[in-house]
Structure 1
Amino acid sequence: MDALPEHHEDPPKTLLITLTGKDRPGVTSSIFSRLAAAGVEVLDIEQIVLRRRLVLGVLVTAPRDWKKLRTVIEETAAGLGMNVDVDRGVGDNKVRREGRSHVTIIGSPLKASAMAAIAGRIADSGANIDRIERMARYPVTAIDLHVSGTSPEQLRTLLAIEAATLGVDIAVQPANLMRRGMRLIVMDVDSTLIQGEVIEMLAAHAGHAAEVARVTEAAMRGELDFEASLRQRVSLLEGIDASALDEVYDAIVLAPGARTMVRTLRRLGYRFAIVSGGFSQITDRLAEDLGIHYSRANELEIVDGKLTGRIIGDVVDRAGKATALREFAEKVGVPEAAVIAIGDGANDLDMLNAAGLGIAYNAKPLVRSAADTSVNVPYLDAIVYLLGISREEIEAADAEFGIVTPAPPVA
């Protein structure tokens, strides 16, 4: 009987080395020292540390005696108390497929079932999750997925349905340079930058708080013409002493995280504007207090120290907000695609649509369905996670200026 021919394996072109285990100083340097001795080229590398557990993946060219290198790597890993896999013949680091997006998920809490559903919808679309980063773990959990293979527009439509079903916030943005550039942020004021509605606070001084609140709610839902409803509500303020404006301003409560968001993004060169259907006597002071560059709102008429119940000049309504956004973008020198608009009511819709990224913040259902994305957690600074900025980076920057963030609960 003839002897069977000896089988010869074709030598691999690349090796993928995956190292896992408890993180400690010197792990990465030990592995690369062995790779350097073998004279290989590094084609790709990823490393993360999750709760002091290291995952290191390195794609290298395979040397002639690749089995010897595999043995050396396995012995090195064993000496470090780590686990290692060396896979032969994996593909090289090809350019990721067309259609690249950042998918940011914010939950409080973020359950495994939600992540499973989101990952499933991404897979159904034919896209792939290339990388996952944690942006925050407290007071919300924020995760950023790097996705390729499907257009951001298609992915946004698909995941918007999932977000509503799961009760989490999902933002889809193109993975391009815009996310890293200086941008203009244009914000609504009432129930967005601040908690509550200034006009209702003023109306309380005239005994009309409940009546004004009913009209305001209907207007924000889009059930009433904004200008007509505003003039109707302002007429009820007739006779109020102008000093009430100071009292109202002193009683204003900012949205949680408002100062953090403005402070953080100003450090990166962002510009800010507030555009409000409220009143300049309040918004101008807010802008000065927070370091906001531009402000536009309606001006209450005051005669002999009393509110007359009238507005001076044109009303800043739904269309007026969008106009202000475009004018501020021109002043800053950025395209509308580089503008982020944040609002909660129907009169914000044109402004949200005019921006490159329109964010409905704790908004009415009508607004959530029309905006690019929505944020429904009660923290305005959660918006920075959509821009690729992590909670750790914010706290580190604050610490340099002596701003101490309370420690999160141990998890």
Structure 2
Amino acid sequence: SLGILAAIPCKKDFSAVFKDMLFEGYKSGLTVDIKPVDPESYEHWVHAQGKERRIITILGQAITARQIAAVASVCADQGLNIDFITRLTGRISLQHPQSRPRASIQFSVSGTPKQIGAMRGRFMEISRETGVDISFHVDNIYQKNRKLVVFDMDSTLIQSEVIVELAKMAGAGPRAEQITRAAMQGEMDFKESFRQRVALLKGLTQSDLDRILQTLPLTEGAQLVTATLKRLGYKLGILSGGFTFVGDYLKETLGFDYMYANELDMEGKVVTGRVRGGIVDGEKKAALLREIAQKENLSIEQTIAVGDGANDLPMISIAGLGVAFNAKPVVRKKAASAISTTGLDGLLYLMGIHEREIRESNSGSGR
């Protein structure tokens, strides 16, 4: 369909114009719908151009009319006008259903929310009640001009916490899990928790570290999202509170441009139980994000940060688009955008990338 707003001179007979347009449409095999626009409505459109704009994205394995209606109701309650609704994903085959389908719809809304905190809270309620992710962020010049995406590593790019898996090899798995859980939920200082967990690894060997890499479980969608973003010209980085030996492996395997993590101290081929150099905590991640952006001549608004733990909040909060992925409650509550119903490739839809664009960018990749 195509919409055209036309000004008809006052001297013209509108009914004659209306008749001629219907006739020309009929000859061309087109359906023409004509609606008069009064001066007041037109002025309303003109003034709406300067209003704040936001993008609201619904993401899940399936989206129903009930979920769309619930989001639209919140928009109405907050005094927002829905200007466009765009479907980002294709139709799902009924004859050949996918094991993990994707469905995403994007609302473009204008206006200033009456209570943005209440709006976020209501979206979280709808998300819990109906099983979809609902994210929203400001629509500005950077929406389609972001160029740097950084990811946390453990429980984001990969499905495990490597430090816990190593601790299991050392016979200290339960203790490492307990400390990790407290750190990721923000209940314990990250640096102190990290030192305690690294101490549990004393005595492990290089062969133990190599074994971890052989069974490293990539998160669903990790290969697709990184391959797509690379082909679209994005710079990619890993900012991890984990270990460099894992980060280096993922950097080479998935094609990352940057990688920062913690280095295990080794004597010969044996882990000493200490970390070499400074510890990459939450504040360090935020500083590294700023540093990489500056190196790439980008503003911080042109960056995207994705993570799951409390130590990811600093970088998530300063990035142009901050995304909580399968996140702990404390992180999900504070992040405006979240993914929990799909794989990591759900990020592409939050960025406004259409499924057809994803297919086109990977048409020769073999993925």
Shorter-chain TM range is 0.7 to 0.9
Aligned-residue offset at 1:296: 0.8
Structure 1 residues 225-269: Cα deviation after superposition (integer angstroms, max 9, x where no partner): 212221111111111111121211121121111122122222232
| Local SS of the residue matching 1:195 | coil
Q: Which amino acid aligns with 1:57?
A: G
Q: Which has the larger radius of gyration?
A: 1
Map residues 179-190 of structure 1 onto 2, 5 A cutoff: 179-190=143-154
Residue in 1 that maps onto 2:7: 61
Whether contact under 8 Å (1:277, 1:316) holds in the other structure is yes
Judge which range, 168-177 or 77-86, deviates more: 77-86
For 1:328 and 1:257, locate their aligned partners in 2 and report how far apart those are by CA, in whole Å: 24
Equivalent position of 1:131 in the other structure: 84
| Structural RMSD (CA) | 2.2
1:118 aligns with 2:108: no
Q: Is contact 1:256-1:379 (8 Å) kept?
A: yes
1:161 alignment partner in structure 2:
121
For the residue of structure 2 that corresponds to 1:253, the secondary structure is: coil
Amino acid at match of 2:3: G
CA 1:380 to 1:402, structure 2 compared with 1: closer, same or farther past 3 Å? Answer: closer
What is the aligned partner in structure 1 of residue 107 from structure 2?
145
**Against the structure 1 CA distance between its residues 155 and 108, is the aligned structure 2 distance closer, same or farther, given a 3 Å change threshold?**
farther
Distance apart, 1:395 and its partner CA: 0.5
User: 347, 351, 371: which is aligned to 2:315?
Assistant: 351
Q: Identify the structure with bigger relative contact order (alpha carbons < 8 Å, sequence gap 6+).
A: 2
Distance 1:367 1:109 in 2: 25
| CA distance in 1: counterparts of 2:346 and 2:119, whole angstroms | 19
Displacement after TM superposition at 1:77 (Å): 4.8
Secondary structure of 2:4's partner?
strand
Structure 1 segments unaligned to the other structure (5+ residues) = 1-46, 48-55, 405-411
SS of structure 1 residue aligned to 2:233: coil
Gaps of 5+ in 2: 93-100
Q: 1:276 corresponds to which residue?
A: 240
- Counting only pairs closer than 5 Å after superposition, residues 227-306 of structure 1 correspond to structure 2 as 227-306=191-270
Cα 1:101–1:207 shift into 2, 3 Å: same
8 Å contact from structure 2 (residues 231, 361) kept in 1? no
> Which segment drifts farther, 255-264 or 105-114?
105-114
Residue 281 of structure 1 and its aligned partner are, at CA, apart by 1.0
How far apart are the structure 2 equivalents of 1:348 and 1:249?
23
Distance 2:60 2:313 in 1: 25
Q: Is the 8 A contact 2:52 2:111 kept in 1?
A: yes
**Structure-2 residue corresponding to 1:215:** 179
Shift in Å, 1:286? 0.8
Offset at 1:370? 1.5
Instruction: Determine helix, strand or coil for the equivalent of 2:272.
Output: strand
Contact 1:104 1:386 in 2 (8 A): yes
CA-to-aligned-CA distance 1:269-323 (integer Å, 9 cap, x gap): 2211111111001111211211111111110011121111111111111222222
Q: Counterpart amino acid of 2:34?
A: V
Please identify, of 334-343 and 91-100, the stretch whose mean Cα deviation from structure 2 is larger.
Answer: 91-100
Distance (Å, rounded) in 2 between the aligned partners of 1:171 and 1:396 = 25
Asked if structure 2 preserves the Cα contact closer than 8 Å seen for 1:352 and 1:359, the reply is yes
Mapped to 1, the partners of 2:354 and 2:345 lie a distance apart of 11
Aligned residue for 1:237, secondary structure, equals: coil
Return the letter of the residue paired with 2:180: T
Instruction: State whether residues 232 and 361 of structure 2, in contact with CA within 8 Å, keep that contact through their aligned partners in structure 1.
Output: no
**Whole-Å separation in 2 of the counterparts to 1:301 and 1:88:** 74
Aligned equivalents of 1:244 and 1:188: distance in 2?
A: 23
Matches within 5 A, 1:360-375: 360-375=324-339
Using the TM superposition, give the Cα deviation of residue 187 of structure 1 relative to its aligned residue in structure 2, in angstroms: 1.1
TM-score (norm 1): 0.78
Instruction: Please report how far the alpha carbon of residue 107 of structure 1 lies from its aligned counterpart in structure 2 after TM superposition.
Output: 2.7
TM-score w.r.t. structure 2 length?
Answer: 0.87
Could you say if the C-alpha distance between residues 126 and 280 of structure 1 is closer, same or farther in structure 2, counting changes exceeding 3 Å?
A: same
Alignment partner of 1:71 is 2:71: no
- Identify if the C-alpha distance between structure 1 residues 288 and 80 changes in structure 2 by more than 3 Å, giving closer, same or farther: same
How many residues align? The count is: 347
Shift of 1:83: 4.7
Q: Matched residue of 2:203: which SS?
A: coil
Matched, 1:196 2:189: no
- Contact 1:346-1:366 at 8 Å conserved across structures: yes
Partner in structure 1 of residue 54 of structure 2: 101
Task: Letter of the 1:68 partner, please give it.
Answer: A
Paired amino acid for 1:60: A
* Inter-partner Cα distance in structure 2 for 1:157 and 1:268: 34
Task: Tell me how far apart the structure 1 counterparts of residues 123 and 28 of structure 2 sit (CA, whole Å).
Answer: 43
Q: Determine the C-alpha separation between the residues in 2 that align with 1:310 and 1:208.
A: 16
**For 1:57, what is the secondary structure of its paired residue?**
coil
1:127 is displaced (CA, Å) by: 1.8
Report the Cα distance in structure 1 between the residues aligned to 2:256 and 2:115, rounded to whole angstroms. 33
Distance 2:115 2:305 in 1: 21
SS in 2 for 1:178: coil
Aligned to 2:345: 381
